[in-house]
């Protein structure tokens, strides 16, 4: 284990990582994350999902930077710059990937119907995106304070700020999951109100598989975030933080699997038809009303006891049943066709 005097001797990286990182493990994750970058860009261009692809690519680039830092620590464990790269890349990178998943539900809401939302769109965007932005700021500040500043007190302050940023990220994920559960309950209990316009999408196997895979990816990111909170809260020199196996499995592998799932079920490919449909949706609060027939009745038929063709002609000059029939037929509407 490290000695507290290492904090003031310029060897912060050694007190944080008291083992030499595996060259093979770091190299494999670096290569895998790097390969996914051009794939994500190609999918984003093909399916016109530039914002989602940019967020994922940013996260992948930071992950690559983080594992480059681990390779530097393999050669020189006391390299402070290598440790800073490792910490920024592996902590801030997944935050961008978490932010990218928040972009997907609005498209799902469009398919099922905005009336099933538990939140208004403005509140959804404000809460989740603001929490993500605050999380990013706190994570960057925590990493810089705990690695650049020397002294036990400064490192403790930085680690506390870093934990706060990770906790906010976890809170955003929990809120996101809660919102998704409420939406799913609303769809299940009021499925008879679904608009058939998108029935070909939400009844397809690919869409149902996408929902399952998307849920699994979110849970992987929750597990990864909970692990990093526990590792840093226990201290950089704790057994959890110093276990390379736990780091590679509960951090690197979880983020890698979540990203692979998002790319295999790329939202722009599965949900591409939802953006092309521009027909107005029917709001359940303002149902369509059947068109009323003109406020006059048809003339009495010949079978009526009061029927008198002479009286009709005399009371209404120029009156003709043939002239009356077409307007009436034009005003008659089949009520079944409205629904």
| 43, two tokens | 């999918």
What is the end-to-end Cα distance of the chain in Å, rounded?
73
Report pLDDT for 279: 39
User: Domain 4-276 class?
Assistant: mainly alpha
**According to the model, what pLDDT value does residue 8 have?**
40
Selection from 69, 53, 2 nearest residue 252 by Cα:
69
Tokens of 81: 């710059």
pLDDT score at 274: 54
Ramachandran category for residue 113: left, alpha or beta (phi over 0 → left; psi -120 to 50 → alpha): left
Burial class (CB in 10 A: 0-12, 13-18, 19+), 318: exposed
- 10 Å CB burial of residue 182 (0-12, 13-18, 19+) is middle
* Burial (CB count within 10 angstroms: exposed 0-12, middle 13-18, buried 19+), residue 296: exposed
Q: Answer for the pair 137, 169: CB distance below 8 angstroms, yes or no.
A: no
> In the chain, where are the structural domains located?
4-276, 290-339
pLDDT of the chain, 339 residues: tens digit per residue: 344 444 444 444 445 678 889 999 999 999 999 999 999 999 999 999 999 999 999 999 999 999 999 999 988 877 888 999 999 999 999 999 999 999 998 888 888 877 777 677 778 888 999 999 999 999 999 999 988 876 677 788 889 999 999 999 999 999 999 988 988 888 888 876 777 787 888 888 999 999 999 999 999 999 999 999 999 998 888 889 889 999 999 999 999 999 999 999 999 998 875 554 433 444 444 444 454 544 544 454 544 455 455 544 444 444 444 444 444 444 444 434 333
How far lies 162's CA from each of 91, 165, 169, 335, in Å? 9, 5, 11, 62
Residue 288: how many other CB atoms lie within 10 Å: 10
pLDDT score, position 256: 98
CA–CA separation, 63 and 85 (whole Å):
9
Q: At what angle do helices 254-264 and 80-101 cross, to 10 degrees?
A: 40
> For residues 331 and 215, what is the distance between their CA atoms, to the nearest angstrom?
51
DSSP character for 235? -
């Amino acid at each position: 284990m490290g000695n507290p005097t290492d904090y003031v001797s310029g060897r912060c990286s050694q007190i944080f990582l008291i083992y030499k990182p595996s060259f093979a493990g770091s190299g494999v994750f670096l290569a895998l994350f790097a390969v996914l970058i051009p794939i994500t860009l190609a999918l984003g261009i093909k399916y016109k999902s530039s914002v989602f692809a940019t967020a994922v690519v940013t996260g992948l680039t930071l992950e690559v930077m983080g594992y480059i830092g681990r390779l530097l620590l393999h050669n020189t464990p006391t390299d402070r710059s290598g440790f800073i790269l490792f910490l920024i890349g592996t902590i801030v990178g997944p935050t961008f990937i978490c932010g990218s998943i928040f972009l997907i539900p609005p498209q799902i809401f469009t398919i099922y119907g905005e009336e099933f939302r538990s939140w208004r769109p403005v509140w959804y965007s404000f809460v989740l995106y603001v929490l993500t932005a605050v999380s990013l700021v706190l994570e960057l500040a925590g990493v810089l304070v705990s690695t650049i500043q020397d002294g036990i007190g400064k490192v403790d302050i930085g680690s506390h700020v870093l934990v706060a940023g990770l906790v906010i990220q976890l809170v955003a994920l929990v809120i996101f999951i809660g919102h998704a559960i409420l939406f799913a309950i609303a769809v299940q209990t009021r499925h008879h109100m679904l608009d058939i316009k998108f029935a070909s999408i939400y009844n397809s196997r690919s869409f149902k598989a996408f929902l399952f895979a998307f849920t699994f990816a979110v849970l992987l990111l929750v597990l990864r975030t909970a692990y990093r909170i526990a590792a840093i809260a226990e201290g950089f020199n704790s057994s959890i933080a110093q276990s390379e196996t736990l780091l590679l499995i509960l951090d690197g592998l979880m983020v890698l699997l979540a990203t692979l799932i998002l790319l295999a079920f790329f939202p722009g490919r599965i949900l591409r038809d939802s953006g092309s449909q521009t027909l107005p949706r029917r709001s359940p609060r303002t149902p369509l009303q059947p068109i009323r027939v003109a406020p006059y009745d048809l003339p009495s038929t010949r079978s009526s006891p009061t029927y008198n063709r002479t009286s009709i002609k005399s009371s209404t000059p120029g009156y003709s049943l043939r002239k009356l029939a077409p307007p009436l037929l034009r005003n008659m509407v089949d009520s079944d066709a409205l629904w």
